[in-house]
Amino acid sequence: MKKKKIVVGISGASGSIYAIHLLEALRKIPEIEIHGTVSDWAYENIKLETALKKNDVTALFDKYYNAHDMGANIASGSFLHDGMVIVPASMKTVASIAYGYSDNLIARSADVCLKEGRKIIMVPRETPLSTIHLENLLKLSKLGVHIIPPIPAFYNQPQSIEEIVNHTTMKILDHLEIENQLSRRWSNDK
């Protein structure tokens, strides 16, 4: 059976926990092969927000590429995959992709997804959002990018940060068409 290839880009916004949880969830699925990269600023946030070291993060990928390696497989349209997730997505990364400014491997890989018509899921992490941020996100949405802000749901009565993060991870996996039961889904059944 051919493995499903998912590309994950971690950019330098707060919220690295979302990326780590997504990578951990994907690693539990033997039919998934994870390719990806982490920006320099993402590593700074990971140091601030978690106890993980760089090697801990890179070990979560099946194929890890340096964020400055513009010759990496994921930078080419001939590299076939089943979707890209940018989590968290900084507003710099959002702007870079919206305007085709491929200054690092995350932006270049997303640019390739756009030109090849491949699925991109973006998890923007910023608040409040300026008009510029909203316009950039709208532009990407019009280009077919799935925008999934990490906004918690409370109908499932989360009891921990992990349960809140799992809800967003569930939504990302849903958009990648990967079955999962990471969080309780809405039901009006009494």
- Does 91 appear as a known binding residue? yes
90 is in an annotated binding site: yes
Task: Compute the distance between CA of residue 184 and CA of residue 168 in angstroms, rounded to an integer.
Answer: 11
Annotated ligand binding at 14? The verdict is yes
Q: At what angle do helices 161-175 and 16-27 cross, to 10 degrees?
A: 60
144 a known binding residue? no
122 in a known ligand binding site: no
Q: Which two tokens stand for residue 28?
A: 């539990």
| Of 87, 101, 98, the residue nearest 10 (C-alpha) | 87
> Annotation-wise, does 118 bind a ligand?
no
Q: How far apart are CA 13 and CA 16, in angstroms?
A: 7
On whether 39 is known to bind a ligand per the annotation, the reply is yes
Is 108 labeled as ligand-binding? no
Say if residue 93 carries a ligand binding annotation: yes
13 is in an annotated binding site: yes
Q: Could you give the C-alpha distances from 41 to 11, 16, 162, in angstroms and in order?
A: 7, 11, 23
50 is in an annotated binding site: no
Annotation: binding site for FMN: 12-14, 39, 90-93, 125
Annotation: binding site: 12-14, 39, 90-93, 125, 155, 171
Annotation: binding site for dimethylallyl phosphate: 155, 171
